[in-house]
A and B are shown apart, each in its own frame.
Chain A
Amino acid sequence: MAEKSNNESKEQELVGLLAQFDDPETLVHACNEARAAGYTKMDAYSPFPVHGIDPAIGIKRSILPFIVLSVALGAVVLGLGIQLYANGQDTFWPFPGYKFLISGKPIFSIPANIPVTFEIIVLSSAFATFFGMWILNKLPRFSNPLHRVSRFKRVTNDKFFLMLETADEKFSRSVSEGQLNDWGAVAIDEVNQDLTDTELPKWLATVGILGAIMLMLPPAAIFSQWGMTNRLPRLHVVPDMDWQHKSKTQTMAANLSNELDGVSLMYEDLRSARRPVDGAIAFGSLDIDSELSYGIKSDFAYTITSGGNALTRAEDTDKADKKEEKEEKDGDAVAPAEEDNLEKYVTTLPEGFQLTEEILDRGQQRFEIYCAACHGYAGAGNGLVNQRAMSLAATGAATWTSARSLHEADVKDDAKNPVGRIYDTITNGRGNMGPYKAQIPVQDRWAIVAYVKALQETGIQSDVPVAADDDAEENQEQNQEADEKQEL
C-alpha cells in the first residue's frame, strides 16, 4: 500500500480494514454477513444512500425528528414572544417595546401574529434540522484516516465500501480480512490513524484566549461609557438617523451651508421648504368677510370669494406684499405717502364684530400689552420704548421715527383715518410700525380699534390715572379681573 509506505516513519495505529465492493447488493450482503458474524463496530460507505443498509448494519432510527419537534415547539413561544415584547408592551428596561395603535385594532392579536410566528417556526426548525444533522453526524471532520486511502476516493463516484473497525471485540487482522474476502470484497485496505498529527498545536489555545479578550474590548469600552460622566456627548455606536443630511425649520443646516452651489437642494432665498403655491389658503384662514378681516369694503376686497379668479386675486395680494416689503426697506418712509384711496376703508365697525363693554375692556387690555410700549398708555406717543429710542436718537446712537400720538388731528380725523385704516395699520403696520396680524387675532384687533377710538374721544393724554376718577379705578379693577380671566 502506497499510503502505508509513505507514513512508515511515523507512529501509526490501525483503525480498521476497508473492503471495496462493486455494487450496492454485494455491500448489503456483506453487511448482513458481518452482522451475523457478530460485528457491531462497522460502517458502510456508498456514493448514494443504499436501501436496506440500515437494518443490515444495525442503525437505530435517529432522534433528529424529535430534536426538530422540540425546537419547533419552542419557536412557537419564541415567535409569539418576540411580537408580544416588541408590540405588546412599552415598559421593560432597557429596550421597551412600542405599542402601535392602528385603527383601534387590538395591540396584540393572534391572527395578525400568525404569519411571523409561522416563519419563525420554519426557520428555527430548518436550523435545527440542518445543524442537528451535522452535529449528530459528527461533521465537519476534516481529518479522517479514510481520506488517506486512495481507493476510497471512488466512494463519491461509483464504489461501495465496508469498514470493520479494530475497536470491535470480534476484530482480528487476519480473520476479518479472510471474512471480507469471502463476502465478496474486491480489494481490502488498511486504514491507519496517524498519531503524530492528531494534537492541536500548543500555541492555539493562547492565541484563542487572547483573541477572545481582544474581541471583548470594543463592547466593553462602549458599555463602560454608559456609567461614566463626561462633558462630551456619549459615544454613538449606531447612529440610526440622529444626524441627517437635511434642513431643519428656521435654520440653514450646517451640512447644507457648504453646498450652496447645489442650489437645487434649496428653494428660493435658500429656503428649506417650498413656499405655498399662489392661491393656497392656510387651514382656518379662509377670509370671506373683507370688512372684518381687512377693514376694507367688499367692493375693494382682496378676499378670494369676493369675485373673480382666486389666483389673480392672490397676485394682487402678492403685489401688495411686495409694495409693503419695499416700504419696510425704505425704513423711514412716512405713512401718508401711500394714502391713495381712503374710500376703500370701512368707516364703521364691521358687522362681524359686536362691541360690548367687556370687549372694549379687552381692547384696553390688548392695547396696553401690544401698543402702549410705543404709543403710551394714553396714546400720546410717549411709550417707554419710544422715550428710550428718542433719547438714543438724539445722541445719534440710533435712528428712530417717533411713534405718533393717537390724539393728533390727522389721526383722530374720521375722514383721514377711518376705523378700517386703523385696523389696517394694526394688521399690516405702517411706516416704522410692524404688522401685528400674526400676534393679534381679528376680534382683538377690532377691540383695540374700538379702544383707540374711545381713547381719542376722551382726549386724555396723561398716563397717570386721575385719583378722583372713580370710573378709572373701577376700570382698572375690571381690567385686572379680565387679565385674571385671560390667564385662566
Chain B
Amino acid sequence: MTTVDPQSLDNTYDDASQRTPLVLGGLDYEGVTDTACGFWEADSAPKIWWILLGLAISLLMLLGGLIQHLLFAGVGVWGNNNPAYWGWPIVNFVFWVGIGHAGTLISAILFLFRQNWRTSINRAAEAMTIFAVVCAGTFPGIHIGRVWVFYWLFPIPTEHLAMWPNFRSPLLWDVFAVSTYATVSLLFWYMGMVPDIATFRDRTKSKIGKIIYGLLSLGWTGSARNWHRYEIAYTLLAALATPLVLSVHTIVSFDFAVSQVPGWHTTIFPPYFVAGAIFSGFAMVVTLLVPARELFGLQKLITLRHLENMNKIIMATGLMVGTAYGIEFFIAWYSGVPWEAFAFWNRAFGNYWWAYWIMVSCNVMIPQLFWFKWCRTTPWFMVIVCIFVNIGMWFERFVITITSLCRDFVPSSWAYFTPTWVDLGMLIGSFGLFFTLFLLFCRFMPVIAMAEVKGIMPRDDH
C-alpha cells in the first residue's frame, strides 16, 4: 500500500509520491481511540507513574511549605537585595511563562497554517501551557510582598481609597497579558477536549467517572450542526490566540525593555523574547513527550516525525535566539553608548560570566547537534539536548534580570546577587507543581486529541 511501511515506526523519510502517514501501526479509528485511551483505561497505573507522582507531590509540598514560610517571614527569605529587587522570582516567572508558549503556538499557529502533524501533540502541549502558566503566575503573585491584597493588581473599585492601577505601567500590562493568556489557553484547551471527554464519558465504567466526564463533556453528541459551529469557534480561537501568544511574551519583555536599565532598554526584546519562548516551550514539550509516549504506549500516534519536526523548530528558534545575542552586542557597540557597551561587556566577561557562557553553550551551541538526523530522531538523545536547552533558557532569564540589575546606574549601588535556599527550593518546587499537574492530567484526561487525529487520517476507499 505504501512505500513507508506502516508497521515500522519510522516515518521520518519523505516519499514525494504520497503524504507521509502521521498515524502508524495501521491503526483505524477504533485503534486510535483504544491507543489513546489505553493508559487511562488501565485498571492501575504503572509503578513508575506512582513513583514520579510521589516525587512531584513531595516537591509540590516543598513549594507550598516555602510559600508559607515566605508569607510569614517576608520577602527577606529570598536573596533579593538592593539593587537586584527582582531576583529569582521574576527569573522563574519569565522562564515558566516562556515554556507556556509552545502549547498555544502548536494549537493555534500550526492550526492556522494547516500543519496536520500538530494533532497528536497539541493536547499535551496545551496542558503543558496551562500548567506552566500556573507555575509562572505563582511567582509574581508571591513576589508582590503583601499577597493578601493581590486584588489591587486589577482595576477593582476600593471601598474608600480612590486607588487604581497605573495603566501606563508595563507591569500592569503584564497582569492583563498573563491573565488573558491563562484564561484563553484554558478555554481553548477545554473546548478542544470536550469531544474527547465525551469519548471518556462513553467508555468509562466507573460511576463517578460517568458523572464527572458527563458533566465536563456538556452533553456532546458529535452532531454535524455542533461540529460546524465548533470548528468555526476553534478557528476563531486559534486566530485570537495567535496574536495573543505573540503579545504575551512581547509584553513580558516590555517589563524589561520599557525601563531605563542598561541591558534592558532595547527594542530587540519583543521578538527575541518570543523566539526564546517558543524555543524553550518546544524543548519542554519534547522533554515531556518522549518519556510520555514510551510510558503510555503512544509511539504510533506521537511518531518520530512529530518529534523530528519539533526538533527542527527548536533548532530554528535556537538560531534566532543566538542571532539576538549577537545583535545585542553589535548594537551595544554600534550605538556608541558607553553604558550600553559596558552592560553587555559585563554580561560576557563580568562577574556573572559563567552564567552567560552556560546560556550561550546551552542555547546556541548544543542545539546545533540537530543538524544531524541521528541526533534529532533519537528519542533519548533529543531529551538530553532539550534539557540543556531548558537549562540554557533559565540562565538566559537569569543573565538578563540579574546581571543588568546588579550593575545599574550608580556604581555605589552595585551588588552581587546570591540566592538563598528558599530561592532554590522554590525553583525546584515549581517543577513539583508542574509535574504533579501534568501526571494527573495524563492519567485522568485525554492526552491525545482523538477527534482531531481521526480527522487527519487518510480515508479508506472501500
Contacts and interface: CB of A to CB of B under 8 A. Distances in A.
Contacts of B161: 240
Interface stretch (B164-172, B346-354, B426-434): B164-172
A357 to B, nearest CB: 49
B460 interface: yes
B228 interface: yes
Contacts of A122: 180, 184, 240, 243-244, 247
A98 interface: yes
Contacts of A134: 218
B167 A25 contact: no
B45 interface: no
Interface string A106-121: 0001001101101110
Interface string A245-263: 0000000000000000000
A126 interface: yes
A24 B231 CA distance: 17
A196 interface: no
Contacts of A467: none
Interface in B409-462: 450-452, 454-455, 459-462
Contacts of B28: 158
Nearest to B450: A47
A46 interface: yes
Residue in A57, A115, A236, A240 with the greatest tally of chain B CB atoms within 10 Å: A115
A48 B451 contact: yes
A116 B173 contact: yes
Contacts of B191: 130, 133
A130 B221 contact: no
B236 A129 contact: yes
A359 B151 CA distance: 59
B29 A49 contact: no
Contacts of B450: 47
Given A102-B166, A122-B180, A137-B229, A144 B219 contact: yes
Interface string B161-196: 111111110101100110010011001100100011
A44 B224 contact: yes
B47 interface: no
A106 to B, nearest CB: 9
Given A156-B222, A158-B28, A62 B232 contact: yes
Nearest to B228: A59
Contacts of B338: none
A119 B163 CA distance: 22
Contacts of B201: 156
Interface residues of B, number: 72
A105 interface: yes
Contact of B459 (A23, A44, A120): A23
B410 to A, nearest CB: 19
Contact of B168 (A46, A49, A82, A100): A100
B50 to A, nearest CB: 29
Nearest to B177: A119
A158 B228 CA distance: 19
Contacts of A133: 191, 229-230, 232-233
Given A59-B224, A59-B225, A86-B164, A157 B176 contact: no
Contacts of A477: none
Interface stretch (A89-97, A166-174, A404-412, A415-423): A89-97
Nearest to A49: B227
Contacts of A286: none
B29 A157 contact: yes
Contact of A157 (B30, B166, B187): B30
A49 B199 contact: no
A139 interface: yes
A112 B167 contact: yes
Interface in A321-353: none
Given A54-B228, A100-B168, A238-B159, A157 B203 contact: yes
B224 A240 contact: no
A125 B240 contact: yes
Nearest to B200: A156
Interface string A36-73: 00000001111111100110010100101100100000
Contacts of A45: 221-224
A156 B199 contact: yes
B206 interface: no
Contacts of B228: 49, 54, 59, 62
A49 to B, nearest CB: 4
Interface string A124-156: 011101101110110111111011000011111
A62 B173 contact: no
Nearest to A87: B167
Nearest to A162: B224
Contact of A82 (B155, B243, B459): B155
Contacts of B336: none
A208 to B, nearest CB: 20
Given A115-B247, A157-B30, A96 B162 contact: yes
Contacts of A87: 164, 166-168
Contacts of A68: 236
B202 A154 contact: yes
A219 B111 CA distance: 46
A241 interface: yes
Contact of A139 (B149, B184, B226, B461): B226
A238 B152 CA distance: 12
B232 A64 contact: yes
A83 interface: yes
Contacts of A50: 224, 227
A127 B241 CA distance: 12
A156 B451 CA distance: 8
A237 interface: yes
B459 A25 contact: yes
Contact of B233 (A64, A100, A155): A64
B162 A98 contact: yes
A119 B247 contact: yes
A123 interface: yes
B173 A23 contact: no
Nearest to A100: B166
Given A47-B454, A115-B254, A157-B33, A83 B167 contact: yes
B198 interface: yes
B167 A48 contact: no
A116 B176 contact: yes
B215 interface: yes
Nearest to A72: B240
Interface of B: 28-30, 33, 146, 149, 155, 157-159, 161-168, 170, 172-173, 176-177, 180, 183-184, 187-188, 191, 195-196, 198-199, 201-203, 214-215, 218-233, 236-237, 240-241, 243-244, 247, 251, 254, 450-452, 454-455, 459-462
16 contacts: A44-B223, A47-B29, A47-B222, A53-B227, A64-B233, A86-B167, A109-B168, A113-B168, A118-B243, A123-B180, A129-B187, A129-B236, A129-B240, A130-B233, A141-B219, A156-B222
Given A156-B198, A240-B158, 19 more contacts: A44-B223, A62-B228, A62-B229, A65-B232, A68-B236, A82-B167, A96-B162, A109-B168, A116-B167, A118-B247, A119-B244, A122-B180, A130-B233, A137-B225, A140-B219, A146-B221, A155-B202, A157-B30, A240-B149
7 closest residue pairs by CB, A with B: A158-B29, A140-B218, A133-B233, A95-B157, A86-B164, A156-B199, A44-B224
